[in-house]
Amino acid sequence: MSKLAKTIDLLFKNAKGDTARISLEEPNDPINPLVVNAAMDTIIREGAFTSSGGDLISKKGARVIERNVTDIQLQ
């Protein structure tokens, strides 16, 4: 059986200057850029997450990834 798997990646710059990613499965469709932007602002403002490179300090981007997944039945 084949299905389409979708994730949204929220990309941030951390205190070390590296990219930190938060990946969420099955985002609401359609994606509302204003909601994504506001959520990312809240994550930064509230210090909701940290990374191995320190606190998340700015938004770098967001992307939706779609992939086709086919389960293989094993015996």
Residue identified by tokens 């389409």 is 4
* d(C-alpha 27, C-alpha 57), whole Å: 23
pLDDT tens profile 28-42:
989 999 999 999 999
Q: Nearest to residue 9, comparing CAs of 19, 42, 17, 18?
A: 19
Q: Considering the chain, what percentage of its residues have pLDDT values greater than 90?
A: 88
**Can you give the pTM of this predicted structure?**
0.86
In the chain, domain spans: 2-67
Helices (H) and strands (E) in the chain, counts: 1, 4
* d(C-alpha 70, C-alpha 68), whole Å: 7
Could you tell me whether strands 19-25 and 54-70 are parallel, antiparallel, or unpaired per DSSP bridges?
unpaired
Give yes or no for a contact between 64 and 27, defined as CB atoms under 8 angstroms apart: yes
